[in-house]
């Protein structure tokens, strides 16, 4: 299996690259999130890859981060979601945005992506629930570890993921875990 490519970027077109690795040119499909962060043609590039062998083709997909590759692998395991749909999702949403949409169970955010209809969005939310961690670093003002602790405490108290995430967003920056839980509980009691 090909897990990583290090070489020279020969050509780049949206969603398709040609990478020269010691004289061998690899065609690699990439999401737009990776494409936007590519260097100019002729520059050195490193991509994490996912290699797919089918009866009629051998396909190589490239990613700029481990998180993108792991999410891609999670997505293609879902019935009815192929590599093309997975690339569309990664092109239209960041890993953090998709994680948050799954945590908050928001199908409308997913249906904005070309190729993702209502049924596919609902299937994605169902299959990915509990498998993706929300990016709590952007959820509120407090530090990511503090937000994670607050979220876990609220869930342990019986609040749903959605309620807990909304409450964590209202925690002020610089809060300790104890203060954050207190603030989140106040927010939940007002709601």
pLDDT in tens, 172-182: 877 888 888 88
Q: Is 1.10.10.350 the CATH classification of the domain at 4-63? A: no
Task: Give this prediction's pTM.
Answer: 0.68
Which tens digits make up the pLDDT trace of 19-34?
A: 999 999 999 999 998 9
How far, in Å, CA of 63 to CA of 147, rounded? Answer: 28
**Whose CA is closest to 151, among 127, 173, 183, 119?**
183
pLDDT band at 170 (very low <50, low <70, confident <90, very high): confident
Helix (H) or strand (E) holding 182: helix 177-190
Q: Is it the case that residue 7 has pLDDT exceeding 90?
A: yes
The end-to-end CA distance of the chain, in Å, is: 51
- Collapsing DSSP to helix, strand or coil, 143 comes out as coil
| Percent of the chain topping pLDDT 70 | 93
- φ, ψ at 46 (rounded to 5°): -125, 125
In the chain, where the domains are located: 4-63, 66-128, 136-190
Extract the tokens encoding 76.
């293609």
On whether the CB atoms of residues 62 and 49 are closer than 8 A, the answer is yes
Q: Is 1.10.150.20 the CATH classification of the domain at 66-128? A: yes
Q: Which CATH number fits domain 136-190: 3.30.200, 1.10.8, 3.40.50, 1.10.286?
A: 1.10.8
**CATH topology of 4-63 equal to that of 136-190?**
no
């Amino acid at each position: 299996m090909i897990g990583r490519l290090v070489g020279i970027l020969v050509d780049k077109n949206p969603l398709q690259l040609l990478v020269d690795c010691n004289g061998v040119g690899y065609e690699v499909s990439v999401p737009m999130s990776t494409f936007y962060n590519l260097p100019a043609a002729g520059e050195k590039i490193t991509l994490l890859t996912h290699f797919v062998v089918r009866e009629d083709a051998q396909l190589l997909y490239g990613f700029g981060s481990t998180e993108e590759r792991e999410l891609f692998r999670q997505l293609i395991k879902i019935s009815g979601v192929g590599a093309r749909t997975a690339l569309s999702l990664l092109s239209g949403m960041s890993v953090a945005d998709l994680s948050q949409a799954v945590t908050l169970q928001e199908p409308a955010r997913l249906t904005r992506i070309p190729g993702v209809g209502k049924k596919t969005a609902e299937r994605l939310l169902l299959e990915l629930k509990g498998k993706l961690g929300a990016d709590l670093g952007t959820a509120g003002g407090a530090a990511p570890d503090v937000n994670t602790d607050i979220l876990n405490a609220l869930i342990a108290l019986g609040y749903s993921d959605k309620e807990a995430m909304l409450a964590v967003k209202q925690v002020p920056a610089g809060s300790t875990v104890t203060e954050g839980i207190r603030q989140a509980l106040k927010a939940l009691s007002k709601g």
